[in-house]
Amino acid sequence: MKKKKFDPKKILEAFLYGILGMIMAVCAVIAACAFNPDLSKSVSFLFEEGVQPEIVQRQAPPAEEVADSEDSAPSEDGEVADAAEGEAAETVVEGEEAETPEGEDAAAKESVQAGAETDENTVEDTQNASKPSNVTKSEGSIVVTKSDSNSPAPVQQDESTESSYKPTVPSGKSKYVELEPEIINIEDEVKANQINNTTSVGDTGDGLTFDADYYPYYQMLNDTDRALYRQIYANTKSLNSAFKPVQQVPMNELQTVLLSVIFDHPELFWLDTTFYQEYDYNGVAIKLQLSYYQSLGDLGAARQEFEAAANNIAGQAAGLASDVEKEIFVHDLLAAKVNYKYGPLDQSAYSAIVGDNTVCAGYSKAFQYIMQKLGIPTYFVAGYAGEMHAWNMVKLGNNFYNVDVTWDDQDPTVYDFFNLSDANNYMHTRMYNSVYLPECSENGNGIF
C-alpha cells in the first residue's frame, strides 16, 4: 500500500476555506438579525447566559480635584448611574416574568420590588448621614434657644426629593467662615471674682427694640438671651469690645446670641465675625472680648464711608416702581461691581459695598443691608452648599424667596439662584438658627 504524501499546500487551502466559511456564516447571521429584530433578541439571549460583566475599578481622583469639585452641582456621572440602575431593574423584572412559572410570578415580583426599596432606603440613609446637621455642630455647638413653645418649627428641607431645576453652579464660591471662639477657662475662684469685679457691663442696650420683619434672629431668642443680644449690639455700636454679660449663660448659648446679632446686623461691619474671646468659670461666661477689624483704621471715617456708599446704591434703586425691580437692581449692581476675592475684611458688608472685593458672606451682608434700606425685609442665611456658604432670603409681598448673589455673579450675570423656592434651592442646606427662618414655598423669578 502506497503511503500518502504530506501536502502543506492542501492543508493551508482547507484551513483558509474553513475561516472563509465561518466569516460568511457570521455575516449571514448579522444580516438576518438586521432584518428580523426578534431573531436578534433570541441570538443575544443565547450568548447572555454565563457571560460575566467586566468589572472596572475607578481610581479615586487626587485630593485637590476633590476639593475643587465639592461645591459643584451633582455630576452627570451620578445621573447616568441612576438611569443605568433603573434600566437594570427593568431588565430584572422582565427576566423574572419570562422565566418564572405562573404560580411563582407574583412572589418573584414582590421579591424584586422589596430589594429595590431596601436599596433606595440604604442610599437615602447614607446620603443623609453624610450631610451636616441643620441645627448643631460638634465643636462650639450652636444651641437653639427658642422664645416659647409657640415659635415656628424649623423648616424641613426635603433633600430626598430631587428638583427638576438644574442651575449652573460656579466652582469655588462658598467660603463662609464660622465663628471660632477662644475659651479661657478660669479655674481659680479668686481670679474669677477679680475678673468679674473689674469688668463693666458696658452699654446694656435697655430700651432697644428690633422689628420682627427685619430682625428675625432676635425673635427666636428667649427673654434672657434677648437681654444679652441687646447688650452685645449696644456695646458693638459704641465700640466697647470687652464687657461682662448681663446674664450668666453657658458657652453654647452665648455663641447663639452672638451669631444672632451678627446675622441680623450687617451694618456692624467692624465686628470680626470669625473670632471672639470668652472668659469662662464653672461653665458660665464671666467676660466677653469681641474682636474688631484693625485694618479699617479710623472706624469713624470707615463708618461714614460705608453709609455713604450704601445710601448711594439704595438711592439709585429707590425710584423704581416695584420691590422686584429694586431687588433686581441691587442684585445686578453688586454682581457687576464686586469681584470674588479673599481679603482681611471678606466676611463683612464693608468689603462688598466699599472695597469691591469679597466672598459669599460679604455679598450676602451687602445685599441684606441695602435691601433693608429700601424697606424690603431681607435676611442673612448661613449653611452648607458643598462647603460652608452664605446667601439671602427676601420677603416680597407675603412670600419668601432664596437669593444667592454670589453664585449669580458669573460672566455674564445670571439669575439661576434668584428668588428660588426651597425645593429649587436644594443645593443649599440651612444651618444654625437659619433653619427657623420662614419656608420659601413659592418660586418667583428664578428662571429668566
Residue 407 domain-assigned (yes or no): yes
Q: Which of 162, 175, 65 is nearest to 120 (CA)?
A: 162
Pair (330, 346) in one structural domain: yes
96: number of Cβ within 10 Å: 16
Pair (382, 404) in one structural domain: yes
Does pLDDT of 336 surpass 50? yes
Query: What's the predicted TM-score (pTM) here?
Result: 0.66
Supply the pLDDT for residue 171.
Answer: 67
Cα distances from 51 to residues 37, 44, 46, 47, 374, in angstroms, run 22, 11, 10, 7, 69
- Contact of 214 with 220, CB cutoff 8 Å: no
Pair (309, 420) in one structural domain: yes
Q: Which three cell numbers stand for residue 42?
A: 433570541
Query: Residue 377 is part of a domain; what is its CATH number?
Result: 3.10.620.30
Pair (349, 257) in one structural domain: no
Q: Which of 399, 389, 448, 397 is nearest to 422 (CA)?
A: 399
Average pLDDT, the chain: 77
Supply the pLDDT for residue 308.
Answer: 98
- What is the mean predicted confidence (pLDDT) over 191-206? 95
Residue 277 forms beta bridges with which residues?
A: 182, 289
Pair (316, 283) in one structural domain: no
Q: How confident is the model over 369-424, as pLDDT tens digits?
A: 999 999 999 999 999 999 999 999 999 999 999 999 999 999 899 999 999 999 99
Q: Which of 373, 366, 354, 350 is nearest to 409 (CA)?
A: 366
pLDDT band at 24, cuts 50/70/90?
confident
Pair (322, 244) in one structural domain: no
The DSSP-derived string for 83-96 is HHHHHHHHHHHHHH
CA–CA distance, 306 with 310 (Å, rounded to integer): 6
Supply the pLDDT for residue 251.
Answer: 86
Dihedral angle sign, alpha carbons of residues 369, 371, 372, 373: positive
Residue 361 domain-assigned (yes or no): yes
Does pLDDT of 142 surpass 70? no
Domain range for 244: 180-296
Residue 98 domain-assigned (yes or no): no
266: number of Cβ within 10 Å: 26
Q: How confident is the model over 70-125, as pLDDT tens digits?
A: 343 333 343 333 433 444 334 333 334 434 444 444 444 444 344 444 444 443 44
Residue 285 forms beta bridges with which residues?
A: 280
Pair (285, 303) in one structural domain: no
Q: How confident is the model over 276-304, as pLDDT tens digits?
A: 999 999 889 999 999 999 999 999 999 99
**Strand order, beta sheet including 242-243:** 180-185, 271-281, 284-292, 242-243
Pair (191, 278) in one structural domain: yes
For the ranges 67-76, 347-356, 437-446, which has the lowest average pLDDT? 67-76
Pair (193, 233) in one structural domain: yes
Does pLDDT of 135 surpass 90? no
Pair (363, 402) in one structural domain: yes
Q: How confident is the model over 202-259, as pLDDT tens digits?
A: 999 999 999 999 999 999 999 999 999 999 999 999 999 999 999 989 988 999 999 9
Residue 348 domain-assigned (yes or no): yes
Pair (257, 188) in one structural domain: yes
Side chain identity at 205, as an amino acid letter? G
pLDDT band at 19, cuts 50/70/90?
confident
Supply the pLDDT for residue 261.
Answer: 98
pLDDT band at 26, cuts 50/70/90?
confident
Residue 169 domain-assigned (yes or no): no
CA–CA distance, 326 with 309 (Å, rounded to integer): 17
For the ranges 58-62, 169-173, 334-338, which has the lowest average pLDDT? 58-62
Instruction: List alpha helices for 186-243, DSSP H.
Output: 189-198, 216-219, 223-237
Q: Which of 219, 290, 285 is nearest to 249 (CA)?
A: 285
Question: How many domains does the chain divide into?
Answer: 2
What does the longest C-alpha to C-alpha distance in the chain come to?
Answer: 130
Residue 136 domain-assigned (yes or no): no
Supply the pLDDT for residue 59.
Answer: 38
Last residue of a domain, one of 296, 327, 354: 296
Last residue of a domain, one of 262, 296, 330: 296
Last residue of a domain, one of 278, 296, 314: 296
Pair (291, 199) in one structural domain: yes
Residue 382 forms beta bridges with which residues?
A: 390
Residue 149 domain-assigned (yes or no): no
